[in-house]
Amino acid sequence: MTTPLEQLVARSNAIGDDPSLVVYGGGNTSAKGLLVDHLGREQRVMWVKGSGADMRGSIASDYPALRLDDLLPLLDRGEMTDEEMTDLVARALLDPGARRPSIETLLHAFLPYTHIDHVHADAICALTNHADGPRIVAEALGDGFAYVDWMRPGFTLSKVVADLGDRDGVVLAHHGLITWGESSDECYRRTEAAVERARAYLDALPLRVDAPARVPDMPDDEIERLLLRLRGAMARTGRRVLWIDRRLRAVADHPLLPEIVEGGVSSADHMLRIKPRSAVVASSESAALDAESYAADYAAYVERNADAMPEGFGMHDPMPRVVLVPGLGAVTSGATLRDAEVAADIAVHTHGVAATVAERIGTPLGLSERETFRFDYWPMELYKLTLRPPTPDLAGFIAIVTGSASGIGRGIALELAARGASLVLADLDGDGLEEAAERIRESGAPAPVLVAGDQSDASVVAETVRQAVRTFGGLDGAVINAGIGVTGTLEELTLDQWNAAMRINLASGFLMTQSCMRAMKEQGSGGSLVYVASKNAFGPGAGFGAYSVSKAGMVQLMRIAALEGGAAGIRANAINPDAVFDNSRLWDGGLREERAAAHGIAPDELEDFYASRNILKRRVTTADVARTAAFLLSDASSRTTGAVVPVDGGVAGAFPR
């Protein structure tokens, strides 16, 4: 026989699996029962979802247990501040180290039922989010369900709902549905039945408007300009990843789009992820101005309500989280691609509710500006943000790494992924790319986009940059690393060998520089180009002429990029490594043996030989180069351009000059 807690977790998981009921941390559930505490005493307890926990995939530890005998007497209080309530609820925890209980803990405690659900169902919110909510709810669900106009969660709302415990359930305007039962199955059935009745009622209503006309598809080249310009405008308040979601195409094309947007969020808690309103952008030409106009309007809204700003808080990032684009759908943003996808999922539901209201009932009605602000800047809700893991230093940073299937390129990719960057990895070796991507996925970092192809082919380079823009929304940096080792004296080299070195080591760098600079200038927020050259650029070796010349050319290419990109905030710097062997394929194909013979040593002595000749007497690893690349890409080097950084253990003959 399952325990009340096990039943609660199972029911909550089922609810969380249905995004039409709750999305990402929304809603809360509870169960009551008996528990033996650490002293062997039997206690009446309630398990309730913890603040910020997501019902989908939740586990027992997401539902802290509280002593009911410490909570029920609070019903007799006349009033209570949020801070007092939070303190008293925390004192009722059986485990003081448990997750902080939901802000609606008292609502669950005061209702005299064993199992309670509170969901933010789309269909229920569509019944309430307009001027005629009470009548529509009564028609759809019957008189057995009580209607409560908007009230911010907390002690007062808990007392109001407690007085309605003799009803079949409670509908909260802009906040969803509360149902209950003596068994978990009964509670879940009531939730499902009420939501299904709401859906059936809405489906039976006649449409007030004709079917939305489809706006012509936005052309691919305009989509890319739109993304770059949007991201450039947003960059002034921080880097972020953009995500295109075409599920919102019908909403973006809707003739009642202004009303839908003005209707705000369907459930107040959605503000935490997507802000109180979405933006609308008509074209790539207006993208930057529309985003900046939204930010200005948001700042004005904060200024109008400044007297209600909680002490110690300041204005949130004023840029939009959701941008609706006719002919496309929506563009959402976040510190990672996952964050942007979550925002899109919420927008699908929140705007779907407003569209349903507009089409079948009347003008969608959001919360008043004052109530919107009070929730937007409510410390009890913002607490959830503190539960997130720390943001990595390169979160929201979009970078390309070429030659990333092995060696230095793979090491750089792993380092950047660990720092939270969104990556496009490019190499001729598709299998090697897959292996690198698997290493990244195993580390828990965001999965990279892979482009297998010859980076000396202009079409492949263009596709690499395009993948960065279309997948992540823009481009902040590139590590230009693709290359091969070519040996032979000037007398021995063939023209084909010489040209291969120049094409793969240098021309590919030119093509990537050109494509990146064009994208970065369109974006308008600067960028960083890092060229992996070589010690040989300044300290060439006999029998290594083609390689040395190509790497010297790369340094010069970097300097020209620094000169030409500086006005647009694009930085360019080079790294000169030497004798990096770990996981490198540069030394394959006889190069190790050839260089060992040139120095009169055995092939397995080559690594120690190179280490012995540098000043520090140390081997140089891919990790050493990777950390330098991360520094040159990051804002820590924001005042550095045109520089060459040796990562060679100190080779005097190759000092930059």
Contacts of 339 (CB under 8 A, 6+ apart): 241, 333
pLDDT tens digits, one per residue of 354-380: 999 999 999 999 999 999 999 999 988
- Compute the distance between CA of residue 582 and CA of residue 562 in angstroms, rounded to an integer: 31
pLDDT tens digits, one per residue of 336-346: 999 999 999 99
Confidence of residue 598 (pLDDT cuts 50, 70, 90): confident
- Compute the distance between CA of residue 219 and CA of residue 227 in angstroms, rounded to an integer: 12
The class level of CATH for 4-204 reads: alpha beta
Q: What CATH number was assigned to the domain covering residues 220-386?
A: 3.40.225
- Compute the distance between CA of residue 592 and CA of residue 2 in angstroms, rounded to an integer: 65
What are the start and end residues of each CATH 3.40.225.10 domain in the chain? 4-204
In this structure, the strands spanning 322-325 and 169-172 are unpaired
Q: Give the residue among 461, 407, 413, 464 at the shortest CA–CA distance from 439.
A: 413
Q: Which of 54-58, 468-472, 573-577, 579-583 has the lowest mean pLDDT?
A: 579-583
Confidence of residue 593 (pLDDT cuts 50, 70, 90): low
Q: Give the residue among 264, 244, 259, 257 at the shortest CA–CA distance from 343.
A: 244
What are the start and end residues of each CATH 3.40.50.720 domain in the chain? 398-584+621-644
> Which residue's entry shows tokens 């409560």?
148
Measured CA to CA in angstroms, residue 167 lies from 107, 112, 142, 153, 171 at distances of 15, 12, 11, 20, 11
Confidence of residue 591 (pLDDT cuts 50, 70, 90): low
616 exposed, middle or buried (CB, 10 Å; 0-12, 13-18, 19+)? exposed
Which helix (H) or strand (E) segment holds residue 350: the answer is helix 337-360
- Compute the distance between CA of residue 231 and CA of residue 147 in angstroms, rounded to an integer: 42
- Compute the distance between CA of residue 111 and CA of residue 106 in angstroms, rounded to an integer: 9
CATH architecture of 398-584+621-644: 3-Layer(aba) Sandwich (3.40)
- Compute the distance between CA of residue 283 and CA of residue 532 in angstroms, rounded to an integer: 38
- Compute the distance between CA of residue 353 and CA of residue 364 in angstroms, rounded to an integer: 9
Catalytic residues: 547
Asked if residue 592 has pLDDT above 70, the reply is no
Q: Which of 119-123, 395-399, 483-487, 621-625 has the lowest mean pLDDT?
A: 483-487
Asked if residue 636 has pLDDT above 90, the reply is yes
Mean pLDDT of the chain: 93
Question: What percentage of the chain has pLDDT greater than the value 90?
Answer: 84
Confidence of residue 270 (pLDDT cuts 50, 70, 90): very high
3-state secondary structure of 500: helix
Q: Output phi, psi for 423, to 5 deg.
A: -120, 145
- Compute the distance between CA of residue 230 and CA of residue 105 in angstroms, rounded to an integer: 41
Q: CA dihedral defined by 237, 242, 244, 250, rounded to 10 degrees?
A: -20
Q: Please give the single-letter amino acid code of residue 107.
A: L
Phi-psi label, residue 157: left if phi above 0, alpha if psi -120 to 50, beta otherwise: alpha
Token representation of residue 586: 């540069």
Q: Compute how many other C-beta atoms are within 10 angstroms of the C-beta atom of residue 393.
A: 13
